[in-house]
Structures are given as structure tokens and as C-alpha cells.
Chains A and B, each alone.
Chain A
Amino acid sequence: MTENMTLRGGAVSEEQRTHRLMVLGAGVMGVGIATLGIGSGLPVTLVDVDEGKLGQARRQIRRELKLARLMGALPEGTAPGELTTTTSAKEGAAATAVIEAVTELAEVKAAVLAEVSALVAPGTPVVSNTSSIPIDELADAVARPEDFIGTHFMNPPCLIPTVEVIRGKRTGDAVEATLTSVLAELGRTALVVADNPGFVTSRVLHPMLNDAIRVVREGTAPPETVDALFEGCLGHRTGPLRTADLIGLDNLADSLRVLYERTGDEGCKPDQLLLDKVQAGHFGRKTGRGFYDYGGHAS
């Protein structure tokens, strides 16, 4: 996998890099996407309303760049792109693509998207990075629905070579083409899917993770055994509980609620053990504790 990523990442020369990114939201995914942009040599403006969070984000980006280099996941010899952090989206208005990665709540995303889509030039892709919210629902909030499209980057974006791209009913052909070129400069491959709650990956994966959590709550097996079974018997690279910790248990619970509200699928109703962990502030890797203890280090 590492070798493939290096090849893909190296496929775009410095002269071919033309994009400038604005990333909205300095949470786990915003930081990860900003890291991918900078590591690929693109200038990135990272916007968050919380100045303190931006300070943490700068440190986390340095750490994630190191991780990406450690894994050979960035093109060798590429000078990092310039990182600007700001509390004002106006500073990133000249971006050639905007990626919104704020928290997984439709009303919060809609408010941010409404503001930013009015700031950028027509034809600039306005992208919502979401694990489950239908794009056409959010399209009502943006200034130009034809410039609006969805992505679902996996965490950590630098290490995952493929991005699920969601085309809404009103998404135009031009924005899809531009986003594909942005992703190519980031060394990622786009796979375009239709717009439904959870799209493909979350619609399948998140109820499965919820089931794995239920299995733990019911005492069938502890997290270590559940994960070892998926890794050892089924060949999964990472078991479901470690995956849940990596996604963020708060984000997983939010995503499951989105799926449950929109599909009525009982399997998507967040399990009580998941809700208890979120209530206790144990969100997984990012808080240092979830189904596993990460030694108190958020990572």
C-alpha cells in the first residue's frame, strides 16, 4: 500500500500543482485534509472559529506530516505547501477549492457552507466532507448548488489513497471534474457514488461497527478478541473497535443518528455502550481513550 501511495503521490509534478485549498474546521478530519494538502505541496488556509483549536491544529499537522513521511505516503522531495491558520474564511477566499470539514451536524455544516459559498468565485468547488449526511440536503444552504459536491475522506487522509466522492442531484459536471483534479494533485483517487444517507462506506461500515459494539456490551467477547477475530480470521487490516476509536466515537454516534433518522434501520440506532463512552468523553484515539487506552496520549 505504501508503495502505491508513493507512486500516486509522485505522479503530479511541481509545475502541475495549481490548486490552493481552504479547509474549514480544525477537527480531526480538517487537520488530516490540511496535512494532506500541505504534504502534497499545496498552499492551505485552515479556518476555525476557535483560535486555541488552530494552535493545536498546527502542532497536530506537524505530527501528521511526520507520520505520513514515516509511512512513505507523501511524494519524496516535495516542499511542504504554506499553511495559513485563521478564524476568518475571508482570508481563504482566493482558494480554488473549499473543503468543509466541521462537525457532523447538518445544521452546523449548513451554516458554514452558506457563509463560505457566498465568499468564493463561481465555479470554485465547495465541498462538504461528511461521512453520512446526504449532499442534496446540504445543497439547499449553498449559494450555487451546481458548484457543491461531497467527499468522504477516511482517517488519516494521508494514508488512505482513495476518496469516496458524492455527487448530489444538483451537482454540475464541471465541479466534479475540478474536484477530481484537486484530488489528483493530492495523490488521491476519486470514486464517485450517488447521494444517499451514508453513501456506500458508512452505510455498510457504521452499522457493522455498531453491531461490534453491541457484541462487546452483551459480553460475547472483549474488544481485543472481536478485533483479533476480524483481523486474524477475516483479514481486516484493523478490527471494528480499533476502527471505531480511529473514526472517533462521537463522530460515529453522530453518523449513526444521521443514518437512523433517515433510513429507520434499527441497526443504525447508536448502541448504549457507544453513547456511554461518548457521554464519558472517551472519544477514541483523539482523546487518548475509547475502547482502548492510548496511554493518555491523544494521537
Chain B
Amino acid sequence: MTTTPEPTADVIAERITRFLEERTKISFAVDTDVFASGSVNSLFAMELVVFLEESFDVEIGGSDLRLDNMRTVRSMTGLVQRLRDADEDGHG
């Protein structure tokens, strides 16, 4: 059985930044509010959820399903890390 190395925060942040840039043509700093920029509408939040779930093998649900978690590269990175850590703990 092979083990995929856990992506670091930098790797996660870089992939999220790249996705945002591909989709919006804007390069966002890690703490910039993606939605405050006016370049995306709220429906884009759902694209972000799907991207994070598919790219990092996490499921975002319950109280994590909040727009505030999707606002910045940093908040998305933190969410992904937390969910991946919880998943690892869960599978012990």
C-alpha cells in the first residue's frame, strides 16, 4: 500500500490560488476577500466547494458549509487542512 504525502499548507494554498486565477483571471493574495473583489458572484462559492472537495479529497458539510470559509485563500487552506486532519484521525 502506498501513502500519498500530506500536502503542506503552501501546496494547498498554491493550488487554490492557481484555480482562482484560472477561473477569474485575477491573482489573489492569501488574505484578500475573493467575494469583495466584485469579480465573482455568490454562485462561484459553490464552484469553490466542489473544487476543494474534488482536489483535496475532503467533504465540506454541516457547520463548515459557510461562505466565510470560502472568502480567502488562507481560510480555504485552513479548512482543507482541518478536514484532512480530522479524516486522518478518524481513520486512526
Contact = CB atoms under 8 A, between A and B. Distances in A.
B78 to A, nearest CB: 17
A295 B67 contact: no
B38 interface: yes
> Which of A71, A231, A232 has its CB near the most chain B CB atoms (within 10 A)?
A71
B70 A299 contact: no
A168 B70 CA distance: 44
Contact of B66 (A67, A70, A297): A70
Given A66-B46, A66-B49, A231 B65 contact: no
A238 B46 CA distance: 16
**Prevailing SS type, chain B contact patch:** helix
B41 interface: yes
**Prevailing SS type, chain A contact patch:** helix
A70 B49 contact: yes
A242 interface: yes
Interface in B22-81: 22-23, 38, 41-43, 45-47, 49-50, 60-61, 65-67, 70
Contact of B61 (A66, A231, A297): A66
B50 A297 contact: yes
Given A63-B46, A69-B65, A70-B49, A295 B22 contact: yes
Nearest to A69: B65
Nearest to A285: B43
B35 to A, nearest CB: 11
B29 to A, nearest CB: 22
Given A66-B49, A67-B43, 18 more contacts: A63-B46, A63-B50, A66-B46, A66-B65, A67-B49, A69-B65, A70-B46, A70-B65, A70-B70, A71-B67, A72-B67, A156-B43, A231-B38, A232-B38, A238-B41, A295-B47, A299-B46, A299-B47
